[in-house]
A and B are shown apart, each in its own frame.
Chain A
Amino acid sequence: MDALDLDLDLPLRSFRLELALALGRETFALVGPSGAGKTTVLRAVAGLATPERGHVRLGGDVLFDSARRINVPPEDRRVGFVFQDYALFPHMTVAQNVSYGARDRAPELLERFRIAHLADARPGQLSGGERQRVGLARALARKPGVLLLDEPLSALDPHTRAALRIELKELLDELDLPVLLVTHDFHDAAVLADRVAALVDGRIRQVGTPSQLIASPADAFVASFTGANVLAGIARRGADGLTEVALADGGVVFSVDEAVGNVEVAVYPWDVSISRELPRDSSLNHVHGPITSLVLIGNRARVQVRGLVGEVTAASAERLALRENDVVMASFKAAATRLVERAPLGR
């Protein structure tokens, strides 16, 4: 039996949230742009939002069922909710926050989350990482049957974020609970989640493991969300069983995917190589032009050539002496070139 079983239908401001999900004891991420209805899904599970139609079942318990007129109030649902920015009670100490839900377990949780030394501190005095631990400890105090995380890493600076992402991953693996996680950052989802659903305008576009979404994005939105370059073009059958795509802004690329008509070409930055001259490898696709932007991120360099972003090691960027406005060749293989459906209008 699934640990968490959802079927939701409720109106949001400009569209309806309609989705069905079944989770086992896994971490499941809902990703999507802000305003897609991600947080509303968590609120519906917690009982803070009431769907017009559908059901929410947790283990053997029915938390909500519109047909049977069941709607368990939030305080009687065994749901742990870590809110965006954590929503710690500012007038209480860390210990009081953690023991708000269940008094007896607080000492153990403070110990486990390495916040015992902060027991008497107020949330206002804590760092982002410490707040997150308090928020998690507080949410787990009542031994919930599901853990809901709303943008758990968005309140953190990039440096802390990377460290806490790993820490959170270890915790979630340990917990053995169904975890429903909401994020607008695909990278967070890829690290933390076993499965990911892309939610746009209240509907799920694609569900799969993070690598499935990257390997075969269902549409241009999912492709760009997972970090791919997305270029519009018109596809037709070409030579050697390849598909030939005439790009909207000029140029032609080849793909092993089959498609005809309006498509979007998705290429991941790590599949794009940058060189001074035509490379002698098997790459079929080349974009020639000046570097419009060059950004160093740690040991990588993101190089943009005519709207196409390629990622190379910082070392090779240095070896090639890349500078902005230098004319270079961005190359990628036909096998690394995905053809996906155009994103629906309006996006």
Chain B
Amino acid sequence: MRRARRRRVFDAVLLSVTVVALTFLLLPLVAIFLRVPLAELVSQLGSGVAVDALVVTLETNAIAQALILLVGTPAAYFIATRRFRGRAVAITLVELPLVLPPAVAGLALLAAFGRLGLLGGTFEALGVEVSFTKAAVVLAVAYVASPFYIRGAIASFESLDQPLLDASRTLGAGPARTFFRIALPLAAKGLGAAAALSFARGIGEFGATIMFAGSLQGVTQTLSLAIYAQFDLDPDVALSLGALLVVVCAAILFIVKLLPAWTRSTSTSIYPFAPSGSS
């Protein structure tokens, strides 16, 4: 009797704590939509600042994500499938920008690519100006978002069934054909999920961008930066932009969750977030 009661009490405690946690996480998001009426929200999004910010955000993120996929995929495959000295160090280095405060990332980018930075002279000689341009936004986004993709990609390449890759080789396919015909299609789900997370991180990028690229409307001012800039001028615009970002990010999250269900299930299971232990 007493044990049954204790169990019920424990369940009730768990339940109420969970409710508190969920409320805490969701209430601010709901509040954004409650503060501004829906009609107002839509009309504010037609303003010049909002449109400019949306265009800059999409443009820079599209370029940054394309670069991340193009460079990150082969790099992740190399790290996942080869055993070499310093492999653990390489994985840690990939993870470093994840834990780095974004403002520090922005400073570091300035120190490397800024006019007075490490490679600034080289860029100047080539006639390329990086800092406070769209290129700077792309670099900032790529810098903070790529670890999300590369980490997920390493995990999904590592969870591939090694005999499948071996079988491909014994059937006459070289390493490159094995990568394109076997590894890439089988890891696709995990790569898609990792790319979506990286995209979400990139869309929300703030700290590194404002340090390295500034906040020039129509040039480097992304949605997050526009929210900050508009907050003092016109809180309603800021709230509308905020609502837009909530919707975009929620959509990305749902895509990540639904992705595995979309692709036809196969007998080989691929976990997008498999622990990246070596096999």
Contact = CB atoms under 8 A, between A and B. Distances in A.
Interface of A: 43, 46-48, 73-77, 79-81, 83-85, 87, 89-91, 100-102, 122-124, 138-139, 141-142
Interface in B238-279: 264-268
B174 interface: yes
Given A75-B171, A123-B267, 20 more contacts: A43-B166, A46-B166, A46-B169, A46-B170, A47-B169, A73-B174, A75-B172, A77-B170, A83-B163, A84-B163, A87-B161, A87-B164, A89-B167, A90-B164, A100-B171, A101-B171, A102-B172, A124-B267, A142-B171, A142-B172
Interface string B149-176: 0000000000001011011111111100
Contacts, number: 72
A77 B166 CA distance: 13
A142 B264 CA distance: 29
A2 B139 CA distance: 61
A101 B181 CA distance: 12
Contacts of A142: 171-172
A89 B170 contact: no
Contacts of B265: 124
Nearest to B263: A91
Contacts of A74: 166, 169-170
B182 interface: yes
**The 3 A-B residue pairs with the shortest CB-CB distance in the complex, in nearest-first order:** A90-B266, A101-B171, A124-B267
| Main secondary structure on A side of the interface with B | loop
A100 B182 CA distance: 11
30 contacts: A46-B169, A46-B170, A47-B170, A48-B166, A48-B170, A73-B174, A74-B170, A75-B171, A76-B172, A77-B170, A79-B170, A81-B166, A81-B167, A83-B166, A87-B167, A89-B167, A89-B168, A90-B164, A90-B266, A90-B267, A90-B268, A91-B185, A101-B172, A122-B264, A122-B267, A123-B267, A138-B167, A138-B171, A139-B171, A142-B172
B163 A87 contact: yes
A123 B171 CA distance: 17
A87 B266 contact: no
B79 interface: no
A75 B267 CA distance: 25
Nearest to A131: B267
A90 B163 contact: no
A47 B166 CA distance: 10
B186 interface: yes
Contacts of B181: 100
